[in-house]
Amino acid sequence: MLIFQPFDNEWITFAIFLILILGFVSLSEILRKRLKISGENTRQFVHIGVGLLVILSPFIIASPVQPALLAVIFIILNAYALRAGQMKGIHTTSRFSLGTVFFPVSFLILILLYWKSNPAILIVGMLIMTISDPLASIIGNRARHARQFVFWKDAKTIVGSLTVFISAFLITTITFQLLQNIQAKNPIPLFNLILIGFAVAVVATLSESISFAGSDNLTLPLLSALMLDTIQQLPLKGQLTVVGWIAFSFLLAYAAYRLKALTAGGTAGAMLLGSIVFSIGGIYWVIPMATFFILSSILSKIGKLKNNILSTIVAKGGQRDLFQVYANGGISLLMAIAYHYTRNDLFYLMFLGSLAAATADTWGTEIGILSHKQPRHILTFAKVPVGTSGGVTVLGTSGFFMGAGVLTLSGILPITGLTLKLFAIVAICGILGALIDSIIGATIQAQYQCPACQKTTEKLIHCGKYQTTLISGIRWINNDMVNLICTASGAALVALLVIFFI
């Protein structure tokens, strides 16, 4: 991608870049203090200015060392300034944000992934973050009577999300085609370019819509670049298939929303997760994930008794929110990304292990609640109230085996040879992951007590208005964290057993 090298010694170019970036930060302080420009506006000024500057680096710097070092310097500098309350010109916003730290982190990761292989993907990813993100904020905030929604914690607007979609589409189609010409590659046919732009724009829009505290400075460029990398190398048939999988992920998530299995935030999160995983893996990855979401949702509807018994105990209801979607499916997403960059089948087996653990845990809970026998503590075997974390029944434990088995069966087919042994490994690891979930729930998961009714609960607010008191466990080990540990355990155990026994 190198077009013009201004200096033979690229450390001179590095020094100029460093001075210019520090100049943007200093100018933001002057604008904030002397001209009384709001911190939000000066932050956007630096965001756009620095973003456009670093996007130039692949054109004038051959080595990735200097840009990577710049990223590391500003990761450390911004993290320190944020903690110390300094550099208000880029850190003063109406809400807490880690965006200034995530910005150079994204740049560093894109350098490591694409500087040598395809810098055009790096440039498009950074340009979407640089332009689409602040543009959505500016237009969304200035639009009159803009309809708002909240998928996580930050309020977003419909017009802002539409701005992200349109701008990301235009950035991708125009910039990627221009960069193809600069690299003397064959131009991309218009229809293919539209498909590429559409897929990237969908991922960019969802990434921005579910962001919080500046996390879009991480997810927006990285996931946009990932989708661009995934779809641009495919022939027309493959690109149409990717768009089809995106549509299928939307239909699946929307159906779950209509069945009240997902909240609005959970629906958006599932759409993003499905769009990426399905596009990367295809049918062999679609079937296990669809199996988990569909069958688990059906089971949750069958166990209507759960709503009455557990509503005063568990922190969340029957609908999965954004946190729950990624607590159960986030490891699967990471495995899909790892598989994309390595094409190592181990990551597919780890993907199955994480989903097998999530399925075993979910089925154990949904089936166990139907048991007529009182649960027993998984470690002491003492009888405990229904809904107690770490409480198990024979019926619920059978759900572990059924859930892990069904999920593993849905996905083990593409692996050739050693099928029976691989099936056993994945299913066993799924069961063990669910058992780890129960053990953590029984030991270190946060448990609270309501001061009014004295009931033990996972809720922070109980009986409508009373703040509960922590009586056991670790405060940040909530149900979502336990589910994340469960799925991570399933994946990690699969890796260990495959490495040692296959």
What's the mean pLDDT when you consider all of the chain?
88
Q: In 10 A of CB 360, how many CB atoms?
A: 32
Report helix, strand or coil for 67. helix
Q: What is the pLDDT of residue 336?
A: 97
Task: Decide if pLDDT at 384 tops 60.
Answer: yes
Among 166-170, 350-354, 462-466, 483-487, which stretch is predicted with the lowest mean pLDDT? 462-466
Among 138-152, 256-270, 487-501, which stretch is predicted with the lowest mean pLDDT? 138-152
Residue 196 vs residue 452, higher pLDDT: 196
**Closest alpha carbon to 201 in 261, 294, 272:** 272
Residue 4 vs residue 146, higher pLDDT: 4
Q: What is the pLDDT of residue 87?
A: 61
Q: Which two tokens stand for residue 425?
A: 């490994």
Inter-residue contact 414 to 426 (CB < 8 Å): no
Q: What is the pLDDT of residue 314?
A: 52
pTM over 0.75: yes
Say how many CA atoms lie within 13 Å of 372 toward its Cβ. Answer: 0
* Euclidean distance between CA atoms 133 and 295, whole angstroms: 37
Q: What is the pLDDT of residues 268-290, one digit of tens each?
A: 999 999 999 999 999 999 999 99
Task: Decide if pLDDT at 125 tops 50.
Answer: yes
Q: What is the pLDDT of residue 402?
A: 94
> What is the residue extent of each domain of the chain?
1-117, 141-281, 282-502
Say how many CA atoms lie within 13 Å of 157 toward its Cβ. Answer: 17
Q: What is the pLDDT of residues 391-409, one digit of tens each?
A: 888 998 999 999 999 999 9
Q: In the chain, pLDDT over 70 holds for what percent of residues?
A: 92
- The highest-confidence range among 26-35, 306-315, 484-493, by mean pLDDT, is 484-493
pLDDT category, 253, cuts 50, 70, 90? very high
Average pLDDT over residues 159-187: 93
Q: What is the pLDDT of residue 40?
A: 72
pLDDT category, 463, cuts 50, 70, 90? confident
Task: Decide if pLDDT at 457 tops 70.
Answer: yes
> Angle 266-291-390 (CA atoms, 0-180°, nearest 5)?
70
Task: Decide if pLDDT at 91 tops 80.
Answer: no
Q: In the chain, pLDDT over 90 holds for what percent of residues?
A: 55
Task: Decide if pLDDT at 305 tops 50.
Answer: no
Q: What is the pLDDT of residue 308?
A: 53
